[in-house]
């Protein structure tokens, strides 16, 4: 029986060569194919077309320089491909509390676990607060507590914060609560150490159970404003006047004012050379008014306030008042 070695056939060699060429071509093409990636760095989003095979290479193509303590994370997997998002995490100050000692570091990592690994802090036999998968934040303290340590958790009040917003409708410097604040609730985890009769607690973690509601306060930025029964109103200027009061019986006899209307409370007699007719004013103790009448004795800085009741007019008497001339 004769066995033939088909691998020696010329066409077989040719097929193998072609397969090698195709695979080689595909691999080479994949390596150099441009990929569009997104880089989030320093508060900006940068789109970059790159042929890089490593994250650092892609960042270099995006013009991003990594510091020795900076880090990064691939937000949609571990492979570099079109659509990959790379978040650069700049080095930030953090503190690590372990065995009663606090050490400060500067590291840029996404999670507590990654930060501890990067700075070489052992945590395998400890309880870590906040948790290993928690997002790292600047200035954060990572607490490492031994497995046998006494740890307690209790609910505490979470004070609300006060937020101010400028309001030109209020007098400058005046404050008015818009939305009252409300305290929340947080769970606070503490490391407890008993020394003789003393108990020392160190807060090592906190979780918000019920968020607090901030108090919103309007801070007045308005100029020339006065508080009235209708709220705060703006005035052009304030003039000191000597004020008396009159009733309908003391008018000109026909029951009609100088501007041709029947008087009512809020009509005042003025010297029109000083206060033009129909000028709107506010007088503390009397209220809003309009210049709408005159009188023989009302000259200069004198005004006469109309009142329905004679006893009320007598009770008013003669007094010095600040008259606020309102904006139209």
What DSSP element (H or E) covers 116?
A: helix 112-119
Q: What is the reported pLDDT for 10?
A: 55
Percent share of the chain, pLDDT over 70: 88
Confidence (pLDDT) at 7: 46
CATH number (3.30.930.10, 3.40.640.10, 3.40.30.10, 2.20.230.10) of 154-220 reads: 2.20.230.10
List, for residues 275-310, the tens digit of each pLDDT value.
999 999 999 999 999 999 998 889 999 999 999 999
Q: How many CB atoms lie within 10 A of CB 109?
A: 23
| Cα(150)–Cα(221) distance, integer angstroms | 53
pLDDT higher than 60, residue 119: yes
Cα torsion for 120, 122, 127, 133, to the nearest 10°? Answer: 40
Task: For residue 85, name the pLDDT band (cuts at 50, 70, 90).
Answer: very high
Identify whether the C-beta of residue 58 lies closer than 8 Å to the C-beta of residue 38.
no
Nearest in space to 88 (alpha carbons), one of 113, 118, 58: 58
CATH superfamily for 228-326 is RlpA-like domain (2.40.40.10)
Element (H, E) at 274: none
The rounded mean pLDDT for the chain is: 88
Tell me the per-residue pLDDT of 152-182, one tens digit each, with 9 for 90 and over.
Answer: 999 999 999 999 999 988 888 889 999 999 9
Q: Please write the tens of the pLDDT for every residue from 227-282.
A: 898 888 999 999 999 999 998 876 555 578 999 999 999 999 999 999 999 999 99
Say if residue 8's pLDDT is above 60: no
Asked if 111 and 71 touch (Cβ cutoff 8 Å), the reply is no
Kindly report the length of the chain: 328
Q: For residues 130 and 64, what is the distance between their CA atoms, to the nearest angstrom? A: 31
What are the residue ranges spanned by the domains of the chain?
35-89, 92-148, 154-220, 228-326
pLDDT tens digits along 92-118: 999 999 988 999 999 999 999 999 999
- pTM of this prediction? 0.56
Judged by average pLDDT, the poorest of 6-15, 70-79, 81-90, 184-193 is 6-15
- Residue 34: how many CA atoms within 13 Å on its side-chain side? 6
The arithmetic mean of pLDDT across residues 139-158, rounded, is: 93
Q: Of 25-39, 40-54, 245-259, give the lowest mean pLDDT range.
A: 25-39
CA–CA separation, 112 and 124 (whole Å): 13
Distance CA 48, CA 191 (A): 48
Given this structure, which CATH class describes domain 92-148?
alpha beta
């Amino acid at each position: 029986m004769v066995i033939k070695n088909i691998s020696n056939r010329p066409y077989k060699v040719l097929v193998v060569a072609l397969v090698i060429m195709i695979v080689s071509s595909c691999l080479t093409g994949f390596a150099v194919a441009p990929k569009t990636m997104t880089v989030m760095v320093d508060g900006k989003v940068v789109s970059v077309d790159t042929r890089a095979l490593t994250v650092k290479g892609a960042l270099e193509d995006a013009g991003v320089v990594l510091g020795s303590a900076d880090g990064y994370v691939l937000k949609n997997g571990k492979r570099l491909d079109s659509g990959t998002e790379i978040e650069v995490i700049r080095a930030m100050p953090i503190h690590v509390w372990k065995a009663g000692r606090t050490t400060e570091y500067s590291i840029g990592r996404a999670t507590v676990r990654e930060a501890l690994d990067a700075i070489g802090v052992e945590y395998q036999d400890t309880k870590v607060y906040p948790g290993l998968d928690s997002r790292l934040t600047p200035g954060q303290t990572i607490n490492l507590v031994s497995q046998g340590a006494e740890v307690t958790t209790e609910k505490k009040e979470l004070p609300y914060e006060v937020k101010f917003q400028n309001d030109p409708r209020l007098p400058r410097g005046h404050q008015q609560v818009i939305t009252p604040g409300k305290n929340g609730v947080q769970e606070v985890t503490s490391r407890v150490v008993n020394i003789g009769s003393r108990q020392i607690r160190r807060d090592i973690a906190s979780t918000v159970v019920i968020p607090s509601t901030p108090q919103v306060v309007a801070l007045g930025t308005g100029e020339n404003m006065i508080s009235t029964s209708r709220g705060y109103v703006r005035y052009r200027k304030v003039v000191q006047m000597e004020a008396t009061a009159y009733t309908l019986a003391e008018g000109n006899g026909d029951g009609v004012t100088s501007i041709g209307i029947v008087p009512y409370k809020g009509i005042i007699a003025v010297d029109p050379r000083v206060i033009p007719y129909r000028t709107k004013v506010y007088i503390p103790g009397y209220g809003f008014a309009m210049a709408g009448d005159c009188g023989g004795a009302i000259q200069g800085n004198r005004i006469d306030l109309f009142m329905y009741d004679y006893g009320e007019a007598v009770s008013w008497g003669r007094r010095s008042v600040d008259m606020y001339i309102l904006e139209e």
